Amino acid sequence: MLEQQKTPTPRFCKTLTLIVATIFLAGITATLIQYNKLPASIPVLQSFSSEHAQFGPKIAIFYLPFIALMLFLLLQYLEIKAAYPVLRKNKPALSHTERQNGIITFCLIKNSILLYFTYSLFNDLTVALGHKRILLQWHAYLFLFVLSIIFIFGIVRGILLNKKK
């Protein structure tokens, strides 16, 4: 019975996820291709304010993509769960529009995080190969700002949708 009430994922979310996942796979592929060229010890933790870094084994280049993949899968699961109505005590189930708001919010957060982690992977690969870093401090701040805007947009839209009831 609840299966019939499932809210479909918007088409742009599916397209966006496909594009971002392709970019992520391109980053993983580039890392695998360049892996043999990496030195035995690579910078794994860098500061934006200085050139000092902590070093680790070259397999550490895959730590960040692994974390990104786990976050992506978790948010993908939450996005799928948001499509189904949840029975709540003393409250009606969320409307189709409210569930769609949740799906869109999870979709944007999931893809933003994966894109940032991919960008960070390219930065780590670039630095490990001895080139100048491409990820600057303001990029991290910009990412956090965009992520905050997505959160705020999702919350405000959810509140406005709830008031329309």
Per-residue pLDDT of the chain (165 residues; tens, 9 = 90+): 444 578 888 898 999 999 999 999 999 999 999 999 999 988 877 666 556 567 889 998 999 899 999 999 999 998 888 888 777 788 777 788 888 888 999 899 999 999 989 988 888 888 888 888 777 778 888 888 988 998 898 888 888 877 776
Whether residue 5 lies inside any domain: the answer is: no
Whether residue 71 lies inside any domain: the answer is: yes
Whether residue 1 lies inside any domain: the answer is: no
Whether residue 112 lies inside any domain: the answer is: yes
Residues 64 and 124 sit within 8 Å (Cβ to Cβ)? yes
Please count the structural domains in the chain. Answer: 1
Whether residue 4 lies inside any domain: the answer is: no
Residues 123 and 27 sit within 8 Å (Cβ to Cβ)? no
pLDDT score, position 1: 42
Whether residue 28 lies inside any domain: the answer is: yes
Of all helices (H) and strands (E), which one includes residue 124? helix 96-128
Whether residue 2 lies inside any domain: the answer is: no
pTM for the whole structure = 0.81
Residue 7, classed as helix, strand or coil, is coil
Whether residue 124 lies inside any domain: the answer is: yes
Q: In terms of residue numbers, what domain contains 107?
A: 11-163
Cα–Cα distances in Å, from 139 out to 34, 119, 144, 164? Answer: 24, 10, 9, 37
pLDDT score, position 59: 92
Of all helices (H) and strands (E), which one includes residue 45? strand 41-46
Cα–Cα distances in Å, from 150 out to 7, 63, 69, 107, 110? Answer: 21, 26, 20, 10, 11
pLDDT score, position 2: 44
